[in-house]
């Protein structure tokens, strides 16, 4: 699923979809596997991940819906591969998270609270 980045809220929604898709350890293992062996067949992923076929299929569906992976039908099999560009919004967010300059704080001074 790709959401157009017309404004900040839309961009935030896109990042949230990506983060949610990456929020399970099995999905991270699937991504690592696809990184190491592009073009994996669904059955190979099931075997390597060690979960039930239906569970792996659901994880693949979630990753595919978020646009993180693609799946190409090859006869009775589906070949999966990473879609690295899909993670760009999340990468941009994380790389932009830097500490505030010293002394910068959004809390009011104690004298201003009273």
Q: In this structure, is residue 100 part of a structural domain? A: no
pLDDT given at position 109: 59
CATH of the domain at 43: 1.10.10.10
pLDDT given at position 1: 44
Question: Is 0.95 topped by the overall pTM?
Answer: no
Q: In this structure, is residue 42 part of a structural domain? A: yes
Cα distances from 72 to residues 45, 51, 90, in angstroms, run 14, 22, 25
Which of 19, 31, 92 lies closest to 59 in space, CA to CA?
31
Q: In this structure, is residue 110 part of a structural domain? A: no
> Which residues make Cβ contacts (< 8 Å) with residue 73, sequence separation at least 6?
79
Q: In this structure, is residue 80 part of a structural domain? A: yes
pLDDT given at position 11: 87
Domains held by the chain: number:
1
- Name the stretches of the chain with pLDDT < 70: 1-7, 100, 102-114
Q: In this structure, is residue 103 part of a structural domain? A: no
Q: Which structural domain range is residue 49 located in?
A: 13-92
pLDDT given at position 84: 86
Q: In this structure, is residue 37 part of a structural domain? A: yes
pLDDT given at position 106: 66
Q: In this structure, is residue 73 part of a structural domain? A: yes
Q: In this structure, is residue 26 part of a structural domain? A: yes
């Amino acid at each position: 699923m790709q959401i157009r980045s017309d404004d900040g809220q839309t961009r935030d929604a896109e990042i949230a979809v990506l983060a949610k898709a990456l929020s399970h350890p099995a999905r991270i293992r699937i991504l690592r596997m696809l990184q190491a062996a592009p073009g994996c067949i669904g059955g190979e992923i099931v075997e390597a991940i060690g979960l039930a076929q239906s569970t792996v299929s659901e994880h693949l569906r979630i990753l595919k819906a978020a646009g993180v992976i693609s799946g190409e039908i090859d006869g009775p099999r589906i070949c999966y591969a990473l879609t690295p560009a899909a993670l760009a919004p999340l990468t941009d967010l994380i790389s932009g998270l830097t500490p505030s300059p010293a002394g910068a704080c959004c809390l009011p001074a104690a004298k201003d609270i009273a």
